Amino acid sequence: MSASKSTLSVFLLICFLSCSVSEDPQEQPITVQRGDDVVLPCEAPNNVNIAVVTWTRSNPEKHVYMKIDGHLETEDQDPSYVNRVQLMDDEMKNGELSLILENVNNNDVGTYYCYYKEGTGRSAKKKFSSIVYLIVEDGRILLELILAATLIPAALVVAGIVGFVIYKKRKGRSENNPDLPDDDPEVLQQL
């Protein structure tokens, strides 16, 4: 009887821990081509009055994007994101806090964090909402791979055809003159 209680206790503990852990945002990898625009997803509950939304990277001194009480905060914004970021829904309706990052470059690779504060004044509570890992691919590499995948087989086919034609000419010549060796330079010069 005590073994079944222990098993039940362990099961309930595991369920509790998995439920607690699942409330934390999980890192979402997003892959984008260099030069493209990308949406970094973030949501808050739709019935929350959002006072502040902040997107950051690993540097806490500078932010990627910050909006306080409806006003864009640019003073401590990382200069590499100026005029390249905006909220997908500027009014943050239904808790939509996703960020549009324009003209993605290789320096944009990395982890992005989305936070928001609900309420106003001292009662505002900072909530952690989203982690996004951005992967930037170079479109040229993909193009080069596609070209290599098509040009190399085409070159092999052409080389095979040329080799076959040379083989047929030599074989035809040796059949017409069986007494003449193919490799004798004097004989080849007379032909």
pLDDT tens profile 148-168: 677 677 777 777 887 777 877
Distance, in Å, from the CA atom of 6 to the CA atom of 32, rounded to the nearest integer, reads: 49
User: Has residue 3 been placed in a domain?
Assistant: no
Give the whole-angstrom CA distance, residue 136 versus residue 182: 58
Same domain, residue pair 147 and 126: no
- Are residues 149 and 126 both part of a single domain? no
- Report pLDDT digits (tens) over 47-93: 888 999 999 998 878 999 999 988 999 999 999 999 999 999 988 88
| Residue-number span of the structural domain to which 154 is assigned | 141-190
Per the structure, how many domains does the chain have?
Answer: 2
Please tell me the least confidently modeled range out of 64-68, 73-77, 126-130, 177-181. 177-181
H helices within 2-124, ranges in order? 2-22
In a domain, 16, yes or no: no
CATH number at 115 reads 2.60.40.10
Residue 84 lies inside a defined structural domain of this protein? yes
Q: How far apart are CA 176 and CA 191, in angstroms?
A: 12
Count of helix runs (H) and strand runs (E) in the chain:
3, 9
Mark whether 79 and 118 lie in a shared domain: yes
pLDDT value at position 129? Answer: 87
Q: Residue 10, Cβ neighbours under 10 Å: how many?
A: 10
Of 159, 105, 165, the residue nearest 136 (C-alpha): 105
Query: Among the ranges 14-18, 109-113, 160-164, 173-177, which has the highest mean pLDDT value?
Result: 109-113
Q: What is the pLDDT of residue 115?
A: 93
5 inside domain: no
Please identify, among 137, 165, 182, the residue that sits at the C-terminal boundary of a domain.
137
Structure tokens at 40: 């970094």
Q: Are residues 86 and 59 in the same domain?
A: yes
pLDDT at 153: 72
Task: Name residue, tokens 């086919």.
Answer: 157
